[in-house]
Amino acid sequence: MKNFYITTPIYYANDKPHLGHSYTTIAADVIARYYRLKGMNVFFLTGTDEHGSKIAEAANKNDVTCQNWVDGIIGDFKSLWKRLNISYNDFIRTTEERHIKKVREVFGKLLRQGDIYKGKYSGWYCVACESYFTDTQIAEGKCPDCSKNVERLEEESYFFKLSKYQDTLLKHYEKNPDFMQPSWRASEMVNFVKSGLKDLSVSRKNVKWGIPVPGDETHTVYVWFDALLNYISAAEDKDIWPCDIHLVGKEIFKFHTVIWPAMLLALDIPLPKTVFAHGWWTVNGEKMSKSKGNFVNPHKFIDKYGCDAYRYFVLRQIPFGDDGDFSEKSFLERYNSDLANNLGNLISRTFSMVEKYSLQNVAPSANSEFPIGKLLNNFDEKFTKSMENIELTASLELIWEIIDEANRTIDSEKPWVLFKTDKEKLKLVFENLLSAVEIISKAISSFMPETSEKIKKIIADKKVSEPLFPRIND
**Site for ligand MSP, residues 16 to 75, rule: CB under 6 A:** 20-21, 23-24, 49
Q: Which residues, 6+ apart, have CB-to-CB distance to 206 below 8 Å?
A: 53, 155
Pick 45 or 428: Cβ nearer ligand MSP = 45
Smallest distance, ligand MSP to C-beta of residue 194, A: 24
Pick 24 or 157: Cβ nearer ligand MSP = 24
203 and 51 Cβ atoms separated by less than 8 Å: no
Quick check: 288 binds ligand MSP (CB under 6 A)? yes
Residues 9-39 as b or e (16 or more Cβ within 10 Å = b): bbbbbbeebbbbbbbbbbbbbbbbbbbbeee
Q: Which stretch binds ligand MSP (CB under 6 A): 10-18, 168-176, 382-390, 408-416?
A: 10-18
What is the Cα–Cα distance from 285 to 327, expressed in whole angstroms? Answer: 8
310 and 301 Cβ atoms separated by less than 8 Å: yes
Nearest alpha-carbon partner for 239 in 58, 430, 1 = 1
Residue 360-389 contact track with ligand MSP, rule CB under 6 A, x = bound: ------------------------------
Quick check: 324 binds ligand MSP (CB under 6 A)? no
Smallest distance, ligand MSP to C-beta of residue 393, A: 14
End-to-end CA distance of the chain: 49
Cα angle, residue 468 at apex, residues 80 and 42 outer, rounded to 5°:
45
Give the containing element (helix H, strand E) for 284: none
From 6, 10, 318, 339, residue interacting with ligand MSP (rule: CB under 6 A): 10
Pick 321 or 415: Cβ nearer ligand MSP = 321
17 and 11 Cβ atoms separated by less than 8 Å: yes
Pick 20 or 373: Cβ nearer ligand MSP = 20
Pairing of strands 3-12, 245-249: parallel
Pick 14 or 432: Cβ nearer ligand MSP = 14
Cα angle, residue 225 at apex, residues 171 and 195 outer, rounded to 5°:
40
Pick 26 or 372: Cβ nearer ligand MSP = 26
What is the Cα–Cα distance from 474 to 466, expressed in whole angstroms? Answer: 21
Q: Which stretch binds ligand MSP (CB under 6 A): 3-11, 152-160, 201-209, 416-424?
A: 3-11
Smallest distance, ligand MSP to C-beta of residue 264, A: 13
Which residue of this chain has its Cβ atom nearest to ligand MSP in the complex? 20
Smallest distance, ligand MSP to C-beta of residue 309, A: 19
**Site for ligand MSP, residues 188 to 247, rule: CB under 6 A:** 227-228, 230
Beta strands in 41-142 (DSSP E): 41-49, 90-93, 116-126, 131-133
What is the Cα–Cα distance from 61 to 95, expressed in whole angstroms? Answer: 20
From 249, 319, 364, 371, residue interacting with ligand MSP (rule: CB under 6 A): 249
Query: How many angstroms separate the Cα of 373 from the Cα of each of 5, 227, 260, 397, 424?
Result: 35, 49, 47, 17, 16
Pick 232 or 437: Cβ nearer ligand MSP = 232
Quick check: 354 binds ligand MSP (CB under 6 A)? no
Q: How many other C-beta atoms can be found within 10 angstroms of the C-beta atom of residue 122?
A: 12
Pick 129 or 472: Cβ nearer ligand MSP = 129
Smallest distance, ligand MSP to C-beta of residue 20, A: 2
Region of residue 284 (phi > 0: left; psi between -120 and 50: alpha; otherwise: beta): left
Pick 11 or 305: Cβ nearer ligand MSP = 11
Smallest distance, ligand MSP to C-beta of residue 228, A: 5
Pairing of strands 116-126, 131-133: antiparallel
Q: How many other C-beta atoms can be found within 10 angstroms of the C-beta atom of residue 440?
A: 23
48 and 223 Cβ atoms separated by less than 8 Å: no
Smallest distance, ligand MSP to C-beta of residue 248, A: 5
Q: Which stretch binds ligand MSP (CB under 6 A): 4-12, 56-64, 106-114, 267-275?
A: 4-12
Pick 55 or 240: Cβ nearer ligand MSP = 55
From 281, 310, 331, 335, residue interacting with ligand MSP (rule: CB under 6 A): 281
Residues that bind ligand MSP (CB under 6 A): 9-12, 20-21, 23-24, 49, 227-228, 230, 248-249, 252, 280-281, 288
